[in-house]
Structure 1
Amino acid sequence: MNECKVDCECHGSRDLAAGEFYGDVVRRHASPQFLLSEIHHGRGRALPTHTHQAAYFSLLVEGGYAERYDGRRYEYDPLTVWWHRPGVVHDDAVGRSGGRFFNVELTTEGMDALAQAGPSRRDFHEQGTPVVWLACRLLRELRHWQPCSGLVAENLALEMAGCALRRPEPPAPSTPRWLDRVVQTLHDEPERRHYTSALAREAGVHPVHLASVFRRTHRQTIGEYLRALRVRRAANLLRSADMPLVQMAATLGFADQAHFTRIFGDVVGMTPSAFRRLLRPHS
């Protein structure tokens, strides 16, 4: 997010209760374990230092956002999800054009259920990972609430809560420079049809060695990693561009629109058209 001119609200530090926000809550749903809120800021603003009594996930749907906590400043682009435990002291700035957020807060009952499953992770933020797509699906459910939505929302929220569990992570292996070059090639040209043999030849290693080291380092195959890159790029294009889906499929390296729709649906949980309507309801 670019540095923005924002209005400053010079209030003292506050401890916000569940469901309490500085922005306007445009829709909300409460359940015993979770509180879902879509929040809108119509203008840029710098918010005072504050804490939240509830642990929560937040999805930046549109606009810009930055926050400072634990002595560091973080800037987030749309389609970023962050998790904060209760009581984390932070101060925020909403980008100059305002922003739209979707928050999933855990009630006391929800936190008790999470604690029974295991200790929660420290604060984190992610893009292009399952927790982001779960948040998008949950937002869509909130906007189109039906009689069966309570059960659907509960299951999606529980899956999100599972992403906050602290998992024992083995020490990250040292990354050889040749692997960094391979990853950079994938990021530079995700639309290309890459072959392990060609990537290995460019890296100067055997294809079997490349496949083994890549999976050990990134916890997925090269193909899975590339598919996730393409879906993430597609999500950003759907958010910001009016490109026809058939053209988007070709641009991103999918075989055709049907292939694009199937892969995107498998990863995100909705079609590209539904995702575009979610993020750009008036387009």
Structure 2
Amino acid sequence: MERSERGFFYGDTTEIIRMDGITLTDTAYTLDRVGWHFHKDDYFTFLLEGGVVEGNKKEVYECVAGDLLFHNWQDAHYNIASGRPTRGFHVELQDGWYERLDVPADLTEGSIRVFSPMIKKMMYNIVREAKLAGTGGQLGVDALLVRILGILGKVRAERDGVRPAWVGRVREILRDEVSFAWTLAGMARELNIHPVHLSREFSKHFHTNLGDYLRMVKVQRAMALLTERGRSLTDIALECGFADQSHFIRSFKGYQGVTPAEYRRLLRRGRC
């Protein structure tokens, strides 16, 4: 089985940034299929554009722009192209990075599809840090990665325990029906639980309140759509459940620190 060396991904890498213990790459995937392989280091794959099917020994994921995967270096996987231009941002973590920051290297195992909007927000900020600061962004990237791995460790512990059935269901509802005008009472009826219970227990499982979680999901859906050429801000705002374009711009900037137009320009850095 083939092992991919550090900094190498199957496509045209338009940017590579090497930090102390971290390698960041921005790659446009060009192959129709990549057979079973594994990598030298643990790493994250963050899809900025397009989509890809990825399989490992346990699961097969159909990923789209905005999806985030974590891979343990020992975990073999394969990839199948979606038939449309696809671009991935990768963060590889060397053993020395874990040691330098005293982060346990066994917080995560195997391949994980990360759903948490909080973690995705932090990964977007890593992309931003890399694009704006390059190798000078080490401090910010280190801090974000430590937080991400800490949350992933908690998520794994919760997954290994007993979790209410409504937790998975509410995540699916808010992901698949993000444009619907949900109310607390309506969501509670859909989940067959009491509104007070939902409001009180939500933050225990999602590490934020229901309103902030929904706003993060909306903005992150918009981030994925912003990579599609020709999509207007008005169309994206309506598709993601914002009242109008001005509301979309305010929410986006409040969440990400830049306007949608500025984010589009940021993603063009490193693109062919």
Instruction: Give the TM-score of the pair, scaled to structure 2.
Output: 0.77
TM-aligned CA distance change 1:216 to 1:255, over 3 Å: same
Q: Tell me if 1:61 matches 2:52.
A: no
Cα distance in structure 1, aligned partners of 2:190 and 2:80: 44
Which AA in structure 1 matches 2:64?
A: D
In the TM superposition, 1:106-121 aligns within 5 A as: 106-113=93-100, 116-117=103-104, 119-121=106-108
Provide, for residues 191-237 of structure 1, a one-character-per-residue CA deviation record: whole Å limited to 9, x for no partner. Answer: 45544345557878654344335555655433233223322332233
**Identity value in percent:** 27
The answer to whether the 8 A contact 1:44-1:97 is kept is no
In the TM superposition, 1:130-169 aligns within 5 A as: 130-145=118-133, 148-165=136-153, 167=155, 168-169=157-158
The answer to whether the 8 A contact 1:118-1:165 is kept is no
Q: Tell me if 1:239 matches 2:227.
A: yes
Cα distance in structure 2, aligned partners of 1:206 and 1:166: 26
Match of 1:94 among 57, 74, 81: 81
The CA deviation at 1:37 is: 1.2
The answer to whether the 8 A contact 1:58-1:104 is kept is yes
Aligned residues: 266
Provide, for residues 40-86 of structure 1, a one-character-per-residue CA deviation record: whole Å limited to 9, x for no partner. Answer: 22x34211221112010111122221222114322211111111111
Deviates more, 1:94-103 or 1:47-56: 94-103
1:273 equivalent in structure 2: 261
1:3 equivalent in structure 2: none
Cα distance in structure 1, aligned partners of 2:59 and 2:37: 15
Q: Tell me if 1:47 matches 2:27.
A: no
Deviates more, 1:32-41 or 1:215-224: 215-224
Cα distance in structure 2, aligned partners of 1:27 and 1:142: 10
The answer to whether the 8 A contact 2:4-2:40 is kept is yes
TM-aligned CA distance change 1:128 to 1:72, over 3 Å: closer
In structure 2, runs of 5+ residues without a counterpart are none
1:16 equivalent in structure 2: 4
Cα distance in structure 1, aligned partners of 2:120 and 2:149: 12
The answer to whether the 8 A contact 1:249-1:260 is kept is yes
1:37 equivalent in structure 2: 25
The answer to whether the 8 A contact 2:21-2:93 is kept is yes
The CA deviation at 1:144 is: 3.5
In the TM superposition, 1:255-270 aligns within 5 A as: 257=245, 259-270=247-258
The answer to whether the 8 A contact 2:11-2:31 is kept is no
SS of residue matched to 1:240? coil
Match of 2:164 among 139, 152, 173: 173
Which AA in structure 1 matches 2:163?
A: A
2:65 equivalent in structure 1: 78
SS of residue matched to 2:226? helix
Which AA in structure 2 matches 1:46?
A: R
Q: RMSD value over aligned CA atoms?
A: 3.6
The CA deviation at 1:104 is: 0.6
The CA deviation at 1:125 is: 1.3
Deviates more, 1:243-252 or 1:166-175: 243-252
TM-aligned CA distance change 1:32 to 1:256, over 3 Å: same
Cα distance in structure 2, aligned partners of 1:51 and 1:14: 7
Deviates more, 1:144-153 or 1:183-192: 183-192
